[in-house]
């Protein structure tokens, strides 16, 4: 559920101005890890711009997501350095393990999202993957699977 009061407070932070729409969308995404559909109607009324226009902004930037993302967002670096050091097999193995593809990037249980990025700026550690904010250097397909196991184990650990 989207807390519209929270959305409103974000809008207010940016003075309720339509020209701040990118910043407002970023702040909302920060909160929900994606852009829930309900907020488009709300923002359209609140900022006085059409829903189609907000959708236009949201689909233009790669960074915005209209789909809910998993608890663990795995970014596989496919920059030049990582690519030549075999990042694609890592990506393929991760997708295989999780039943994901280029189109379907998030597991149904909303635990994992797998996406590619063009460079994480850690070329010396290539190939690199990032899980949320943690960088995992010198990755291999087997290492990636192990990492998935660990993350899953962590999920049940608190019991």
Partner 1 sequence: MIPVEKKEIMYIDNIPVEIHGERNLLELIRKVGIILPTFCYHSELSIYGACRMCVVEDEKGRLEAACSTPPRAGMSIRTNTERLRHYRKVILELLLAHHCRDCTTCASNEKCKLQDLARTFHIAGVRFPNTAAKPKVDDSSLCIVMDHNKCILCGDCVRTCNEVQNVGAIDFAHRGSKMTISTAFNVPLAESPCVGCGQCVAACPTGALMVRNDVSKVSRAIANPDVTVSVQVAPAVRVGLGRSVGLKTGEEAMGKIVAALRRLGFDEVYDTSTGADLTVMEEADEFVQRLESGENLPMFTSCCPGWIQFAEKKYPEILPYISTCRSPMQMLAGVVKEQKKKTGKRHVHVGVMPCTAKKFEAARKEFRDEFGNPMTDYVLTTEELIRMIDEAGMVFSELEPEAVDSPLHEKSGAGVIFGVTGGVTEAVLRRISEDKTSSSLQRIAFSGVRGFEGLREATIMYKGREIRIAVVSGLANVSRLLEEWKAGFCKYDFVEVMACPGGCVLGGGQPFIHNEEKELRGKGLYKADKVCSIRRSEDNPLMQELYNGILKDKRHELLHVHYGEKAE
Residues that bind partner 1 (CB under 8 A): 37, 40, 49-56, 59-60, 66
Q: Give the residue with the Cβ less far from partner 1, 39 or 144.
A: 39
Q: Give the residue with the Cβ less far from partner 1, 57 or 151.
A: 57
114 CB-contact burial (10 Å; exposed 0-12 / middle 13-18 / buried 19+):
buried
Is 29 within 8 Å of 3 (Cβ atoms)? Answer: no
Is 106 within 8 Å of 94 (Cβ atoms)? Answer: no
Q: Give the residue with the Cβ less far from partner 1, 52 or 156.
A: 52
Is 107 within 8 Å of 100 (Cβ atoms)? Answer: yes
SS (H, E, C) 67-108: CCCCCEEEEEECCHHHHHCCHHHHHHHHHHHHCCCCCCCECC
Give the shortest CB-43-to-partner 1 separation in angstroms. 11
Give the shortest CB-84-to-partner 1 separation in angstroms. 25
Using alpha carbons, select from 103, 23, 30, 16 the residue that is nearest to residue 57. 23
Q: Give the residue with the Cβ less far from partner 1, 50 or 92.
A: 50
Q: Give the residue with the Cβ less far from partner 1, 49 or 130.
A: 49
Backbone angles phi, psi at 73, to 5 degrees: -95, 115
Q: Residue 115: beta bridge partners? A: 75
């Amino acid at each position: 559920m989207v807390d519209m009061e929270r959305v409103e407070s974000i809008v207010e932070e940016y003075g309720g101005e339509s020209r701040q729409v990118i910043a407002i969308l970023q702040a909302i995404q920060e909160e929900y890890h994606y852009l829930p559909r309900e907020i488009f109607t709300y923002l359209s009324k609140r900022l006085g711009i059409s829903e189609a226009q907000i959708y236009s902004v949201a689909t233009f930037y790669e960074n915005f997501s209209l789909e809910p993302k998993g608890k663990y967002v795995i970014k596989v670096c496919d920059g030049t350095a990582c690519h030549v050091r075999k990042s694609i097999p890592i990506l393929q193995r991760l997708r295989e393990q999780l039943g994901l593809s280029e189109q379907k990037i998030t597991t149904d249980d909303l635990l994992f999202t797998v996406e590619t990025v063009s460079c994480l700026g850690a070329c010396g550690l290539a190939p690199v993957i990032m899980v949320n904010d943690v960088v995992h250097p010198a990755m291999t397909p087997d290492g990636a699977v192990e990492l998935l196991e660990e993350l899953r184990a962590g999920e049940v650990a608190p019991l």
